[in-house]
Amino acid sequence: MGICCYLRCDGSSAVVYRAEEGCGMATQDLPATITLTADTVATITVRGDYSRLAVRPLATGQIVFVRGDGTNPVIGADMNYCAPPIPAEETVVPAATDGGTTSLRLISATAGMVFVDKPCGEH
């Protein structure tokens, strides 16, 4: 089993156990995680139709740029949502839905894991 740690809305930590594939499965249930490779756009797709999702970088110092409209984000560019490094609050991003799934595209200049869930207060 893969193990993924994430932060709850109250700031406490929790652990999500995933299948052998680890935390980068193609379509995940919420809460979900994705491991980013530096300077590479990645897509996370979760089951369910959500109009917005919350993003939290889990690597110290990692800044993540996010788009929820199907467009690739660009590091430092306008029109991206910027998720600041921990211990910042979650960044809520409007998300694109497609018949039972919701996707975000993410990029960071540094590698690290990112936590994605429903925004706090919407559980």
pLDDT, one tens digit per residue, over 7-16 is 455 555 544 4
Question: Per the domain annotation, does 53 fall within a domain?
Answer: yes
The pLDDT of residue 2 is above 80: no
Q: Residue 53 to residues 19, 20, 21, 45, 105: CA-CA distances in angstroms? A: 23, 25, 23, 11, 12
CATH of the domain at 75: 2.60.120
Name the burial class of residue 102, with classes exposed (0-12), middle (13-18) and buried (19+) by CB atoms within 10 angstroms of its CB. Answer: buried
- What is the average pLDDT score of the chain? 80
Question: Per the domain annotation, does 12 fall within a domain?
Answer: no
The pLDDT of residue 78 is above 60: yes
Domain of 50? Answer: 24-117
Write down the pTM of the prediction.
Answer: 0.78
Supply the pLDDT for residue 73: 95
Residue with tokens 């975000």: 104
Total structural domains within the chain: 1
